[in-house]
Amino acid sequence: MSNLTPRADRPDEAGAGGDGLINPVNTPAVKPLTDKQNEPDARGLRIDKVGVRGLRIPLQVRDKSRDLQNTVAKVGMFVDLPKEFKGTHMSRFVEVLNSHGSMVHVENIPDMLRAMQAKLHAQSAHLEMEFPFFLVKKAPVSGKEGVLDYNVRFDAAMHGQDLDFLLTVRATVTTLCPCSKAISKYGAHNQRGEVTVQIRSEKIVWIEDVIALVEASGSSEMYSLLKREDEKAVTERAYENPVFVEDLVRNVALRLNAHPDVAWYRVEAENYESIHNHNAYACIEKG
C-alpha cells in the first residue's frame, strides 16, 4: 500500500499543497486563432460589395389583402470593405440573418441592414431577396381557379442612414403580332411575352398592382387553368388586341407614369417568338 502514498519527491502524484490529489497534466496555453480578415492589405483597393449569396430562407410577404404569404427566398448579403482590410467575416452575415428568427419579414429589412453595418463595421450594407409570389386567378369564362406564380425581387441598400429600395416584378403575358394579323388571311402568330418591371417609389407599391398593370398591357393575361370556353375567350381577346414588344413596354410605362407613388422605373419586355429562332426585346426607363 505504501507505493500509493503521495510523496514530495513524486510531484506527478501529489497536489501542490500535498493534499493527496493527482495533478492534471500541464497543458500549453491555447494560442488565439489567426484572424486573416483583419490583416492589412497593401493593394489600396476598396471593395464595393463583399458577402454571401445563394442562402435560402423562409420568407413572409404581406400581400394587398393584408394577409401574410409564406414563400422561400434566395438571399444575398453584402457590405463595403475599406481598402485597409484584407477581408470581411462571412459568418457574421449568417448570424445577422439567423438573429431575426426562423421566418424573416419584409418589414425587418431596414433593421437587418443596420445590423449588418454594425456587426461588420461597414458604411454601407446591401440585401437582395428573390422569391416566387403566388396569386389565385379565375379563368375568364368558367371561373375555375388556378394558382399562378410570379418572380419578385427586393434589392435594399443602406448607405449611412439613407435607405434605397428597389422592387422588381417579372410577369408573363400573351402578345399577338399586329403585322402578322394585318398580312395574314388566317390567324396571326402569338407568343409568351415576359415583362420585367423595376420601380422606386415614395410609398409602398403592392406587388399585385404591378402585376395587374403588366397584365393589362399585353394582348391577353395568362392563366394556369383554362377550360375550352376559357381558351376561346383568351385567344379571341389576344386577336382583338395585337401588340408589338414596343407597344408592350410603352403600355406599361404609361400606366406607371399615371401611378402617383412611382418615382423611377425601368421596363423590359422580351417576346419568346413562335416563328423565329430569336426573341424580340424592348426597354424603356424613366429618369
**Cell numbers found for residue 55:** 442562402
**The 104-105 sheet, strands edge to edge:** 104-105, 47-62, 68-81, 124-138, 145-159, 162-176, 190-201, 262-272, 280-285
> Of all residues in the chain, what percent are helix, strand and coil, respectively (each to 5)?
25, 40, 40
How many helices (DSSP H) and strands (DSSP E) are in the chain? 6, 9
Question: Is the pLDDT reported for residue 22 higher than 70?
Answer: no
Task: Over range 252-275, report the average pLDDT.
Answer: 96
- CB neighbours of residue 197 within 10 Å: 26
Task: Over range 35-41, report the average pLDDT.
Answer: 71
**Cβ atoms 242, 209 nearer than 8 A:** no
pLDDT band at 101 (very low <50, low <70, confident <90, very high): confident
Residue 129's nearest CA partner among 74, 66, 61 is: 74
pLDDT at res. 11: 43
Residues with Cβ within 8 Å of residue 123, at least 6 apart in sequence: 80, 117, 159, 160
User: What's the whole-number average pLDDT of the chain?
Assistant: 88
pLDDT band at 36 (very low <50, low <70, confident <90, very high): low
Give the integer Cα–Cα distance in Å for 98 and 113: 13
pLDDT band at 15 (very low <50, low <70, confident <90, very high): very low
Question: Is the pLDDT reported for residue 244 higher than 90?
Answer: yes
pLDDT at res. 18: 47
- Three-class secondary structure of residue 5 per DSSP: coil
Residue 158's nearest CA partner among 201, 105, 106, 117 is: 117
What is the phi-psi region of residue 19: left when phi exceeds 0, alpha when psi lies from -120 to 50, beta otherwise? alpha
Task: Over range 227-253, report the average pLDDT.
Answer: 97
- CB neighbours of residue 29 within 10 Å: 5
Task: Over range 93-117, report the average pLDDT.
Answer: 89
pLDDT at res. 42: 77
**Cβ atoms 70, 52 nearer than 8 A:** no
Its pTM stands at 0.84
Task: Over range 254-276, report the average pLDDT.
Answer: 95
- Give the DSSP per-residue string, 23-53: PPPP-PPPPPPP-GGGSB-SS---EEEEEEE
Question: Is the pLDDT reported for residue 191 higher than 60?
Answer: yes
In percent, the amount of the chain with pLDDT more than 90 equals 72
Task: Over range 189-218, report the average pLDDT.
Answer: 95
pLDDT at res. 24: 58
Give the integer Cα–Cα distance in Å for 46 and 35: 19
In percent, the amount of the chain with pLDDT more than 70 equals 88
- Full set of structural domains in the chain with CATH: 43-285 (3.10.270.10)
Instruction: Determine which helix (DSSP H) or strand (DSSP E) holds 209, and give its type and residue range.
Output: helix 207-215
Give, to the nearest 10 degrees, the angle between helix 245-257 and helix 207-215: 140
- Three-class secondary structure of residue 144 per DSSP: coil
Give the integer Cα–Cα distance in Å for 264 and 205: 12
